[in-house]
Amino acid sequence: MRLLTALYFVSFCIFSSHSAFAQPDTKQQTADYSVHTHTIKSAVLNEQRTVVVQLPKSYQAEPNKVYPVIYRLDGAGNIPLASAIIERLQNDNRAPEVIIVAIENTNRLRDMYPTVNKEPQGPVGEGGGAAKFLAFFEQDLIPLVNNNYRTHDYKVISGASAGGVFALYALQANPELFQAHIAYSPAVWWNYGAMVKSTKSFITKNKELNSYVYINIGEEAGIMRERYDELQQSLQSPKVRGLRFFNDAFDGISHNLTSAAGAFNAYYHLFLPKQMPMSALTDDLASIDVYYQNLSQQWGEQISPPDRAVRSLGYNLTGSKQFTRAIEVFKYNLKNHPKSVDALSALSYGYEMQGDTRQALAQMESALAIADDSYPYVDYLQDTRIRLEAQLNKNL
C-alpha cells in the first residue's frame, strides 16, 4: 500500500530555536525549514503552553505567499513524519507547502477529552477539559499564529488516540474552525463511547458539512473496535453533503503505530492534486472550474485550470473512446489557453480520433501557425499535417 512509504521518512531531524510570540528571538534553519519554539501565557487555560512552529522551505524566499496550517497535537515529535510525507506529496504536485504547529502537552487527558470518564476500564475521573482547550485554540493559539505568520484560512487539526477524540470534538463544537480533521485511532471507547454518541447526534442534525475527516484503527479489538465501527458508520452517512470522509483499518498495526501507518493516506486524500482526477469531472465542464476553485482555496494561491492537466482529462476521454466529451474538454482548454500549441494539437487529435479529418487538419495548421523554432515537437506537427492532408485527399 502507498501508505507504507511514510514509514521510511521518520528519521528526518528537526531542530528548534527559542523565542516568545511577543519577542521573537534568533532561529535555526535545517534542511531549509526554519523552526521556532514559542511560549504562550494562556488566560483561558491559566497556564503557560509551549508550541513549535515549522515554516515551509519557501517561506523566506516568497514573502507574499500564504500557507495552510496543520495543528498537530501531542508535540513536536510528530513534525518529522508529517513534514516528510507532505514534502513527498509536494514533489508530485499533490500538496501545497504548509506551516506545521505542534502543541506540547501539560495534562493530556484533561485537555483532549470532552467528558469526564466514568467507565471503570479507563482512568475514572479524568478528562472533561476539551472545551477549554478548544477555547485556547480559538482565543490564543490560532490568532497568534495568524498574526505572526503568513497563513490563509485553511486549517487542519490532527491527533492520535485521545488527540483523535479532540479532533472529532472540534468538528462538532466548532465545525468552521478547522477545515480538516485527522483522528488516528481515536480512543472513542472513553466514557461509555460518549464521543460516538455525540458524533451520531451531530451527523443527524447536520445535512451539510464543508469538511474533511480521516480516521483509522489498528489491531484494537473488543469495546474499542465496536465503538470505532459505530463511529465509522455514522460518519459514512450519505445524507451529509460536502463531507469528505476516509477510513483505514490496519491488521497487525498496534495502537501506537496507527499515526505512522495512516499519515500518508490522511494527507494523500486531504489535499487536492493539481492534476484534476477523472472522478471529479462531470458532464458539466463547470466541474473543472469548481475543482480548481476548491484547490485554490485549499492551497492558498490562485490556480487556474492548467493546460497540461486539462489536456490529460481530454486524452483520458479519447482513450475510453468518449470522443465528443474529449473534444468539449479540449475546446474548453483552448479557450483558457488560446496561444497554446499543445492545446491546439490536442484538439486536432480529438477530432482525428472522432474521424473528422478536416477539423483535425484545421487545428493542426493553427498549431503550426503559432509554433516557432523553439517548440520541441515541430517535426511531429509537420508530419501530422502531412498525414492528415494525405488522408483528406484520399477521402475526396
Cα gap 356→240, rounded to integer Å: 45
Quick check: 31 pLDDT over 70?
Answer: no
Q: Which helix (H) or strand (E) holds 194?
A: helix 190-205
Residue 142 CA, distance from chain mean position: 19
Residues counted in the chain: 396
State the DSSP string of 214-230: EEEE-S--HHHHHHHHH
Cα distances from 322 to residues 99, 283, 325, 327, 356, in angstroms, run 42, 12, 6, 9, 14
Q: What is the mean pLDDT of residues 208-226?
A: 96
pLDDT of residue 22: 37
Q: Which helix (H) or strand (E) holds 325?
A: helix 323-336
Match 491527533 to its residue by C-alpha cell.
159
Count other C-beta atoms under 10 Å from residue 147's C-beta: 9
C-alpha cell at 208: 451539510
Average pLDDT of 209-238?
95
Q: Distance between CA atoms of 140 and 211, rounded to whole angstroms?
A: 23
> Coil, strand or helix: which one is 71?
strand
In this predicted model, what pLDDT tens digit does every residue of 97-135 receive, in sequence order?
999 999 999 999 999 999 999 999 899 999 999 999 999
> What type of residue sits at position 285?
L
Banded model confidence at residue 246, pLDDT cuts 50, 70, 90: very high
356 has pLDDT over 60: yes
pLDDT in tens, 70-101: 999 999 999 999 999 999 999 999 999 999 99
In three-state secondary structure terms, 200 is helix
- Residue 207 has what pLDDT? 87
Instruction: Please name which of 13, 26, 4 lies closest in space to residue 253, comparing C-alpha atoms.
Output: 4
Which residues face 173 on adjacent strands? none
